[in-house]
């Protein structure tokens, strides 16, 4: 930290952004022609191409592997179709498996117990387009469903629930145990009872009649509570659509009857709100309006009751050209007369209805000036998403449309629909200026939690990105547990990458929360952007993309009637639609312009703007740079006027409706598109100059505020086209404030933009460039971006020669060593992707070491270890060990315990292979002693994590279990993502071998989450390998088969042994043999993978009867008897002795095989690995040793 502060003071600059500094020249050095390894130029992000699909496959695998747990006793089976299909046993839902399997159950349920032919079943399940393999696949689904529906059924017992009949299947669940049948029976009974007791036009029941009405109300309440959303969402064939309509009518009838019963019992005050919602939903439904008027009248709201009927009259006249019915006119007359027959004669009885959910807080969308037209399908889709969330089916929906397409207008309708169905909404609005990246997230979470946005922002911005994701998921889940909830993010195209990654993580963790994530954005995000990945994920996970294309031509006349009060005819409508491309905002603007100006919306906007006084136009141009909303004081500073004068300049624009006054908070543009049009109309040099002035204004503000820092960064980026580059110094200062608040991602982003600007500053020196790169290196390290660390170090290394006297070799060597050793700090495993040796760093350190002054012990020891780490995948273990030995010797004279900890951990990582385990244990002992002196909790956790990994290799079960228990929650809370990866690669297979599948699945899932969160090489491969090994340990090798091709293709680590082993344990012997013939099994001994590869090869040799495959592996493994076979910390596959038994048996030594198997069984029992002990027993029985 001291060196970081010193660099910042020298550079006098601040903030950060998300770019990376990887100059093309960093790849220009060619590897030596005598080098024994190959050097491949690294991509900017080694996991960028594979992480997202790999992670998605991993999550799907987890669902497949652990989602179908064993069922209990059969009990009473019930069927629920009033929402997503459910089957319950003793009122507990049964996991029906994949969406296709659920569709099979739905298709059978639709037949009400009758037989469904295989052909009809396939058509329904595959939406009239079944594949050629449909019949075989259906039989497979039926088999799986029978196992979960009747888990106690014996192998030859006939099925009783899902039965086969002739050439089809039937779902035999009694009608009395179906919720749709119960709803129909309740409605019929309620209608018959109420018809005898009450007048539906003015319901009232007292005395003995009230008892019967109360029974009806209670029965209806029970049935209405079972409605969970649209029935049969798994299917979309014509028969299903018809049944869906029938059930929706039944549901509406039940609601109406319940309201009639409630009014009869005197619950009118409680029902006023419900009836208001129903009238808004059904504006032409006379019965609802009449009942609402009665409820209002009985509540003492005579004017409101008359107003309701007048609104009905207007709706019928406008929509249908009709007058209200005679019954409505009679009711209106009775209300005017205050007819006593309308009143409820008895005191209000306690309501039998359940208490209403607390009202959602108001959502501040702009009040629409006219009805929504032409978007009925999209509105229905959003309402269905809201209803599904309320029913317990979470969802993701993204409204995608061009500016002015009506995204916000559609959100207004959604907000009203959401309120009606009981969905609480939190809205976060993303902007392109003057806003911290995480502010919209804080806004949205504040909206659903009721907490103030500023305090929530400080909480979400105070921790690591990993902690932020957990926090967002926790708050959203807790709120959704209380009240169904929607998180709405407007204009996601302006959002930063961290916010979008948080949303991606949230959507991938949706299971059964009553939560909907809804966003609006513009189409065509940049290739490779976080937004593009989020949109693709929303489609994969939920099919949640809602395209808001051009307004249909048929709706233009309706829009005209709403906007200008009259139709415009088809010819004029066609002309307008063609000119605007169906853009709603363009259409509205043109319809509102009396002189019908030609051209695009920009022409319309600019014509209106340029009609204002010249000084006002200049003020609007400056305001457009400040964003859609802006402070008067900021505008005054940019225009060099007094605040009062700036406000006066905007007065003509306010009167014209171009801007609006925000009381006490400045101004805002009437439309965001208006601000954008003005902004884009400015000449490049004018625009850049205005942004420069805006940046200077923001930089004079309170830089402890995140929104002010975000404003500085935004304006400097926009000014970069003509800015001389001096703004980078301002960014360095801004970054200091971000670091002071522990916002390391923000700091790195500010400094990355500073690097970009500094390139164009002719006054910046090479020394300043180097200092700035080292600041950025430190920021990337603290933010967990190891690729960013590497890129900045590479760039800084290229500046070493220009910074020192060429004749002073010692100074050159020392600066090079200090620069390149920045890769060492904080590394818990290899800093390069598997198999890669970064030649430029190797060459530079090799050249520098001979010239380092002997007295610079800290610099020399760190340089030696950095070189050893960079050579890890070279295979030159002799050179690596010599470098480590020399580094430790040099470091023995260092007094600083912090440097010694760094040296010992670096030595551990550089020699991360089985034959160095004893030495690595000593390195950790020495590091722990220094950590105790330092009292640094983070360093203590890092050392403890590595010690747990080493205990895994050694087979020290007590230390493994102790480390897992002590560290899991601490590492997550501290944001030590890389350490979490190390710990969970140990924990997942140990839990699986011990028989704790739940804990194993949780560890594997966390690894896949970390693969998305941690920017460290080989993390995804570690997650994939852990998933595969857990699958093997839990006896689910067949379930792993679908993921093998992708694993073999995507993994950067050799995967042929792992895949062959999975195939063998899944019973696919011929496929395993073909794989071994086509891809040689890995035999490397110079990395952490050595014992794992040797162990798997011994088992493969025995199972395929190929002794030659076992010879070298068996010989190598004998030195590791008594230990755990694993890839360092990862993929523990069992005691080495079991695989020695395989090797001995494969090579013909039966006695040794028996002895080793005895030892393995003893180890499994002592280590608490009960499931693996049973696996050993089965292996011995099969192979006879």
Least confident of 3-7, 607-611, 685-689: 3-7
Task: Count Cα atoms within 13 angstroms, Cβ side, for 516.
Answer: 32
Q: Pick the residue with more confidence: 854 or 1160?
A: 1160
Backbone angles phi, psi at 785, to 5 degrees: -100, 90
Q: Pick the residue with more confidence: 506 or 598?
A: 506
> Are the CB atoms for 365 and 411 separated by under 8 Å?
yes
Residue with tokens 């029978």: 146
Q: Pick the residue with more confidence: 66 or 1090?
A: 1090
Cβ neighbour number for residue 208 with a 10 Å cutoff = 8
Least confident of 229-238, 263-272, 540-549: 540-549
pLDDT tens digits along 690-714: 999 999 999 999 999 888 898 899 8
Residue-level pLDDT at 1162: 96
Residue-level pLDDT at 1095: 94
Residue-level pLDDT at 1068: 92
What residue ranges define each of the domains in the chain, with the CATH number in brackets? 77-177 (1.10.10.10), 278-343 (no CATH), 376-549 (3.40.50.300), 593-682 (1.10.10), 806-935 (no CATH), 936-1183 (1.25.40)
Backbone angles phi, psi at 1030, to 5 degrees: -60, -40
Residue with tokens 């191409």: 49
887-to-279, 863, 879, 903, 1130 alpha-carbon distances in Å: 80, 8, 12, 8, 27
Of the candidates 651, 389, 634, the one whose C-alpha atom is nearest the C-alpha of residue 518 is 389
CA distance 274 to 255: 10
Q: Pick the residue with more confidence: 51 or 937?
A: 937
Residue-level pLDDT at 72: 36
> Are the CB atoms for 212 and 144 separated by under 8 Å?
no
Mean pLDDT for 930-934 is: 92
What ranges in 1090-1168 are assigned the alpha helix state H? 1090-1104, 1108-1117, 1136-1146, 1150-1166
Of the candidates 544, 551, 547, 540, the one whose C-alpha atom is nearest the C-alpha of residue 574 is 551
Residue-level pLDDT at 1140: 96
> Which residues are CB-neighbours of 333 under 8 A, at least 6 positions away?
none
Cβ neighbour number for residue 1020 with a 10 Å cutoff = 27
Mean pLDDT for 246-252 is: 84
Backbone angles phi, psi at 979, to 5 degrees: -65, -35
Q: Burial of 726 by CB count in 10 Å (0-12 exposed, 13-18 middle, 19+ buried)? A: middle
Residue-level pLDDT at 59: 46
Of the candidates 964, 977, 1038, the one whose C-alpha atom is nearest the C-alpha of residue 1011 is 977
Residue 528: pLDDT above 70? yes
Q: Pick the residue with more confidence: 405 or 376?
A: 376
Q: Burial of 965 by CB count in 10 Å (0-12 exposed, 13-18 middle, 19+ buried)? A: exposed
CA distance 1094 to 758: 52
Cβ neighbour number for residue 442 with a 10 Å cutoff = 25
Q: b vs e for 81-116, b when ≥16 Cβ sit within 10 Å of the residue's Cβ?
A: bbbbbbbbbeeeebebbeeebbbbbbbbbbbbeebb
Residue-level pLDDT at 357: 35
Residue-level pLDDT at 439: 85
CA distance 212 to 80: 28
Mean pLDDT for 20-33 is: 31
Q: Burial of 908 by CB count in 10 Å (0-12 exposed, 13-18 middle, 19+ buried)? A: buried
Residue with tokens 């009238």: 279
Residue with tokens 């009040």: 367
> Are the CB atoms for 275 and 292 separated by under 8 Å?
yes
CA angle at 1034 for the pair 1032 and 1035, rounded to the nearest 5°: 70
Mean pLDDT for 292-311 is: 81
CA distance 104 to 189: 32
Determine the 3-state secondary structure of 857 from DSSP.
helix
Of the candidates 118, 124, 155, the one whose C-alpha atom is nearest the C-alpha of residue 138 is 118
> Are the CB atoms for 1114 and 1098 separated by under 8 Å?
yes
Q: b vs e for 538-567, b when ≥16 Cβ sit within 10 Å of the residue's Cβ?
A: beebbebbbebebbeeebbbbbbbbbeeee
The pTM for the full model equals: 0.55
Q: Parallel, antiparallel, or unpaired: how do β-strands 629-630 and 667-669 relate?
A: antiparallel
Mean pLDDT for 113-134 is: 82
| DSSP conformational letter for 340 | G
> Which residues are CB-neighbours of 263 under 8 A, at least 6 positions away?
203, 204, 271, 291, 294, 295, 298, 344
Cβ neighbour number for residue 683 with a 10 Å cutoff = 8
pLDDT band (50, 70, 90) for residue 410: confident
CA distance 616 to 620: 6
Residue-level pLDDT at 296: 87
User: Which residues does residue 93 pair with via DSSP β-bridges, in sequence order?
Assistant: 88
For the chain, the 3-state helix, strand and coil shares in percent, each to the nearest 5, are: 65, 5, 30
Range ranked top by mean pLDDT from 524-538, 1029-1043, 1083-1097? 1083-1097
In Å, how far from its chain's centre is CA 19? 21
pLDDT band (50, 70, 90) for residue 724: low
Question: Which tokens belong to 33?
Answer: 């022609």
% the chain with pLDDT above 90:
27
Positive or negative, the Cα torsion across 114, 117, 122, 123? negative
> Are the CB atoms for 1160 and 1178 separated by under 8 Å?
no
pLDDT tens digits along 653-692: 888 778 888 876 689 887 666 787 888 888 888 988 999 9
Q: Parallel, antiparallel, or unpaired: how do β-strands 168-171 and 116-117 relate?
A: antiparallel
Residue-level pLDDT at 246: 84
Residue 574: pLDDT above 50? yes
pLDDT band (50, 70, 90) for residue 355: very low
Residue 883: pLDDT above 90? yes
% the chain with pLDDT above 70:
86
Of the candidates 5, 17, 3, 25, the one whose C-alpha atom is nearest the C-alpha of residue 755 is 17
Residue 354: pLDDT above 50? no
> Which residues are CB-neighbours of 1097 under 8 A, at least 6 positions away?
1057, 1081, 1083, 1109, 1110, 1113
Mean pLDDT for 357-362 is: 38
Mean pLDDT for 239-251 is: 83
CA distance 991 to 453: 41
CA distance 246 to 223: 16
| DSSP conformational letter for 37 | S
> Which residues are CB-neighbours of 646 under 8 A, at least 6 positions away?
619, 632, 635, 636, 639
Q: Pick the residue with more confidence: 38 or 434?
A: 434
pLDDT tens digits along 428-478: 888 765 568 888 898 899 888 888 877 788 888 877 777 788 888 889 988
Residue-level pLDDT at 419: 85
Residue 16: pLDDT above 50? no
Of the candidates 1045, 1064, 1052, 990, the one whose C-alpha atom is nearest the C-alpha of residue 1022 is 1052
Positive or negative, the Cα torsion across 461, 464, 466, 470? negative
Residue-level pLDDT at 740: 85
Least confident of 354-363, 462-471, 840-849: 354-363
Question: Which tokens belong to 1136?
Answer: 């080495």
> Which residues are CB-neighbours of 902 under 8 A, at least 6 positions away?
824, 825, 862
Q: 450: phi > 0 → left, psi -120 to 50 → alpha, else beta; which?
A: left
pLDDT band (50, 70, 90) for residue 590: low
> Are the CB atoms for 335 and 306 separated by under 8 Å?
yes
| DSSP conformational letter for 31 | P
Residue-level pLDDT at 949: 94
Residue-level pLDDT at 600: 45
CA distance 876 to 910: 12
CA distance 30 to 52: 32
> Which residues are CB-neighbours of 426 under 8 A, at least 6 positions away?
443, 444, 445, 446, 447, 448, 449, 485, 486, 487, 488
Q: Burial of 214 by CB count in 10 Å (0-12 exposed, 13-18 middle, 19+ buried)? A: middle
Of the candidates 108, 111, 120, the one whose C-alpha atom is nearest the C-alpha of residue 167 is 120
> Are the CB atoms for 823 and 52 separated by under 8 Å?
no
Question: Which tokens belong to 740?
Answer: 């002071």
Residue 491: pLDDT above 60? yes
The overall average pLDDT reported for the chain is 81
Residue-level pLDDT at 786: 76
Residue-level pLDDT at 1171: 93
pLDDT tens digits along 765-801: 888 999 999 999 888 877 767 778 888 988 888 888 8
Least confident of 374-378, 615-619, 720-724, 953-957: 720-724
Backbone angles phi, psi at 178, to 5 degrees: -110, 135
């Amino acid at each position: 930290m001291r060196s970081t502060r010193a660099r910042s003071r020298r550079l006098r600059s601040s903030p950060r952004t998300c770019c990376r500094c990887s100059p093309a020249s960093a790849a220009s050095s060619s590897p030596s022609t005598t080098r024994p390894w190959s050097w491949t130029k690294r991509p900017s992000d080694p996991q960028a191409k594979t992480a997202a699909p790999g992670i998605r496959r991993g999550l799907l695998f987890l669902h497949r592997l652990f989602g179908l747990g064993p069922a209990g006793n059969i009990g009473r089976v019930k069927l629920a179709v009033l929402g997503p299909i459910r089957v319950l046993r003793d009122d507990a839902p049964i996991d029906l498996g994949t969406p296709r399997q659920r569709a099979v159950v739905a298709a059978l349920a639709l037949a009400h117990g009758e037989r469904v032919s295989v052909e009809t079943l396939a058509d329904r399940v595959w939406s009239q387009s079944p594949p050629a393999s449909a019949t075989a696949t259906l039989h497979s689904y039926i088999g799986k469903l029978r196992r979960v529906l009747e888990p106690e059924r014996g192998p030859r017992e006939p099925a009783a629930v899902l039965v086969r009949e002739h050439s089809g299947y039937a779902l035999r669940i009694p009608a009395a145990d179906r919720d749709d049948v119960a709803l129909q029976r309740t409605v019929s009974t309620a209608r018959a009872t109420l018809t005898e007791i009450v007048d539906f036009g003015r319901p009232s029941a007292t005395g003995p009649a009230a008892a019967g009405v109360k029974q009806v109300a209670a029965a209806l309440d029970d049935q209405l509570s079972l409605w969970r959303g649209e029935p049969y969402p798994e299917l979309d064939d014509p028969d299903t659509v018809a049944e869906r309509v029938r059930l929706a009518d039944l549901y509406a009838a039940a609601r109406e009857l319940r309201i009639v019963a409630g009014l009869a019992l005197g619950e009118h005050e409680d029902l006023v709100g419900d009836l208001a919602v129903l009238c808004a939903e059904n504006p032409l439904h006379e019965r609802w309006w009449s009942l609402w008027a009665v409820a209002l009248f009985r509540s003492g709201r005579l004017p409101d009751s008359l107003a309701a009927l007048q609104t009905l009259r207007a709706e019928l006249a406008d929509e249908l050209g009709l007058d209200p019915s005679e019954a409505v006119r009679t009711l209106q007359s009775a209300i005017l007369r205050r007819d006593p027959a309308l009143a409820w004669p008895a005191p209000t009885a306690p309501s039998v209805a359940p208490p209403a959910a607390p009202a959602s807080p108001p959502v501040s969308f702009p009040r629409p000036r006219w009805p929504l037209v032409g978007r009925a399908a999209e509105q229905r889709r959003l309402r269905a998403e809201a209803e599904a969330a309320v029913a317990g089916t979470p969802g993701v929906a993204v409204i995608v449309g061009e500016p002015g397409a009506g995204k916000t207008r559609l959100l207004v309708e959604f907000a009203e629909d959401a309120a009606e169905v009981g969905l609480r909404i939190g809205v976060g609005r993303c902007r392109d200026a003057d806003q911290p990246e995480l502010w919209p997230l804080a806004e949205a979470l504040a909206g659903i939690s009721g907490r103030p946005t500023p305090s929530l922002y400080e909480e979400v911005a105070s921790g690591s990105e990993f902690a932020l994701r957990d926090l967002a998921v926790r708050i959203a889940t807790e709120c959704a547990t209380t009240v169904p909830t929607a998180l709405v993010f407007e204009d996601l195209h302006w959002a930063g990458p961290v916010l979008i990654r948080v949303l991606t993580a949230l959507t991938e963790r949706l299971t059964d929360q009553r939560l909907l994530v809804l966003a609006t954005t513009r189409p065509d995000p940049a290739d490779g952007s976080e937004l593009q990945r989020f949109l693709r994920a929303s489609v994969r996970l939920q099919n949640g993309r809602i395209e808001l294309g051009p307004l249909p031509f048929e709706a233009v006349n309706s829009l005209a009637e709403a906007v200008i009060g009259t139709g415009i005819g088809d010819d004029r409508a066609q002309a307008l639609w063609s000119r605007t491309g169906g853009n709603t905002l363009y259409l509205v603007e043109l319809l509102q312009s009396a002189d019908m100006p030609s051209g695009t919306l920009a022409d319309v906007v600019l014509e209106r703007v340029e009609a204002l006084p010249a000084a006002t136009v200049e003020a609007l141009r400056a305001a457009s740079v400040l964003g859609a909303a802006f402070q008067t004081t900021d505008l005054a500073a940019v225009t060099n006027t007094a605040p009062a004068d700036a406000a006066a300049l905007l007065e003509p624009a306010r009167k014209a409706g171009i801007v609006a006054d925000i009381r006490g908070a400045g101004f805002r543009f009437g439309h965001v598109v208006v601000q954008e049009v003005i902004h884009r109309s400015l000449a490049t040099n004018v625009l850049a100059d205005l942004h420069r002035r805006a940046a200077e204004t923001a930089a004079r503000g309170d830089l402890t505020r995140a929104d002010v820092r975000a404003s500085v960064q935004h304006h400097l980026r926009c000014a970069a086209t003509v800015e001389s580059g001096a703004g980078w110094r301002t960014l360095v200062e801004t970054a200091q404030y971000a670091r002071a608040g522990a916002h390391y991602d923000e700091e790195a982003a500010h400094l990355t933009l500073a690097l970009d600007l500094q390139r164009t500053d002719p006054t910046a020196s090479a020394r300043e460039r180097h200092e700035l790169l080292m600041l950025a290196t430190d920021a990337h390290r603290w933010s967990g971006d190891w690729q960013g660390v590497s890129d900045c170090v590479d760039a800084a290394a290229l500046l070493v020669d220009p910074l020192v006297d060429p004749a002073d070799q010692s100074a050159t060597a020392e600066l090079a060593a200090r620069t390149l050793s920045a890769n060492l700090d904080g590394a818990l495993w290899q800093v390069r992707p598997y198999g890669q040796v970064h030649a430029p760093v190797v060459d530079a350190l090799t050249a520098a070491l001979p010239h380092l002054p002997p007295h610079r012990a800290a610099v020399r020891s760190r340089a030696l270890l950095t070189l050893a780490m960079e050579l890890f995948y070279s295979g030159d273990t002799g050179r690596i060990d010599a470098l480590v030995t020399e580094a430790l010797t040099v470091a023995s004279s260092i007094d600083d315990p912090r440097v010694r900890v760094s040296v010992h951990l670096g030595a551990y990582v550089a020699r991360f292979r089985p034959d160095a385990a004893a030495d690595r244990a000593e390195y950790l002992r020495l590091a722990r002693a220094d950590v105790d002196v330092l009292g640094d909790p983070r360093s203590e956790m890092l050392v403890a994590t590595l010690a747990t990994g080493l205990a895994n290799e050694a087979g020290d079960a007590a230390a493994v279990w102790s480390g897992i228990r002590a560290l899991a929650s601490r590492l997550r809370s501290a944001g030590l993502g890389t350490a979490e990866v190390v710990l969970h690669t140990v924990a997942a297979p140990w839990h699986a071998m011990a028989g704790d599948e739940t804990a194993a699945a949780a560890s594997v899932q966390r690894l896949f989450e970390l693969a998305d969160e941690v920017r460290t090489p080989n993390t995804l491969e570690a997650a994939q390998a852990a998933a595969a090994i857990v699958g093997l340990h839990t006896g689910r090798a067949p379930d792993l088969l679908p993921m093998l091709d992708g694993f073999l293709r995507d993994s950067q680590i050799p995967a042929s042994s792992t895949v062959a082993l999975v195939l063998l344990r899944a019973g696919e012997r011929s496929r395993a043999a073909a794989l071994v013939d086509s891809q040689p099994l890995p035999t490397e001994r110079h990395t952490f993978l050595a014992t794992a590869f040797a162990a798997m090869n011994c088992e493969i040799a025995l199972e395929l009867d190929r002794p030659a495959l076992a010879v070298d592996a068996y010989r190598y493994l004998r030195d590791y008897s008594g230990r755990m076979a694993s890839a360092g910390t990862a993929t523990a596959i069992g005691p080495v002795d079991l695989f020695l038994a395989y090797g001995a048996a494969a090579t013909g030594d039966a006695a040794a095989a028996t002895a080793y198997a005895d030892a393995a069984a003893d180890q499994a029992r002592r280590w608490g690995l009960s499931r693996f002990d049973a696996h050993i027993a089965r292996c011995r029985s099969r192979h006879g040793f």
